[in-house]
Amino acid sequence: MVTSAISFKPTQIGNRGLYFAAAILLSWLVMLVFLLNYPINWQNPLVYVFVLVQTHLYTGVFITAHDAIHGVVAPHNKRLNNAIGFLCATLFAFNNYNQLSRKHHLHHKHSATLDDPDYHDGNPGFLAWYYSFLKEYISVFQIVLMAVTYNVLKLWFPMENLIAFWMVPAVLSTFQLFYFGTYRPHRGEHHNPPHNARSQKRNHVLAFLSCYFFGYHAEHHAWPYLPWWKLPEARELELKVKS
């Protein structure tokens, strides 16, 4: 990993981080409002397509909170950057933005070691690691808030719509984030300390659909100040340097 290969400063992205954040948040919100009023027919394949679309948008909401943690949503305005990060973390099952920030910086500092909150001692299979990951980030308080919100929303929206398009996508999104952003990049042995991360093969379409380019995970750890939409550029440059 030739980290000097990219000359880039977060401030050079200007307002583009805000545009991407606004696009994701508005898409998620508009889609959610539409789907909560959508007549569900379980024999209609569009229902399952919409679940997958909303899952991907949920993941985008979390990715925006993640980029805010790295200060690249609004690099010129720290208060605005953190406000957007707080909003996105809250929308994603009432996550605590400050706690996420603290633990995520520990993850970058101690990647794939026993001091990494995202790492599971013994490097086990997917389910055991996933369970450990959830315990690290989900609190009883969050579950209570989700339950209260569900019961309030149930006063206006059908129960099956809430489950199919609000609850299920949130759960599936945690699988998506964990599998492509933690498990695949950090499992097994690594030969690039201190990042201890690997990247998927170059395919920008699949990389976006899988987890907003976070399959290019070695690049993210090498240049954590790059927003998600800059990771393909980093991957291309990294492969060019290696060739």
Helix axes 45-69, 97-109, angle to 10 degrees: 70
Candidate ranges 115-119, 169-173, 184-188, 222-226; pick with highest mean pLDDT: 169-173
Mean pLDDT calculated for residue range 107-111: 79
Q: Does 47 score more than 70 pLDDT?
A: yes
- SS3 label, residue 14: coil
Band of residue 140 on the pLDDT scale cut at 50, 70, 90:
confident
The Cα–Cα gap between 224 and 97 comes to: 18
The Cα–Cα gap between 190 and 185 comes to: 10
In this predicted model, what pLDDT tens digit does every residue of 166-201 receive, in sequence order? Answer: 999 999 999 999 889 888 888 767 666 667 778 888
Let me know how long the chain is.
Answer: 243
Phi-psi region of 14 (alpha: psi -120 to 50; beta: other; left: phi over 0): left
Q: What is the pLDDT of residue 10?
A: 47
Q: What is the pLDDT of residue 83?
A: 97
The Cα–Cα gap between 57 and 44 comes to: 21
> Regarding predicted confidence, which is higher, 47 or 116?
47
Mean pLDDT calculated for residue range 233-238: 84
Choice among 102-116, 129-143, 167-181 with the minimum mean pLDDT: 102-116
> Regarding predicted confidence, which is higher, 122 or 233?
233
Band of residue 4 on the pLDDT scale cut at 50, 70, 90:
very low
Q: What is the pLDDT of residue 5?
A: 44
Q: What is the pLDDT of residue 3?
A: 46
Angle at 64 between CA 40 and CA 182, to 5 degrees: 90
Q: What is the pLDDT of residue 78?
A: 92
Q: Does 36 score more than 90 pLDDT?
A: yes
> Regarding predicted confidence, which is higher, 108 or 27?
27
Q: Does 1 score more than 60 pLDDT?
A: no
Choice among 29-43, 116-130, 212-226 with the minimum mean pLDDT: 116-130
- How high is the mean pLDDT of the chain? 86
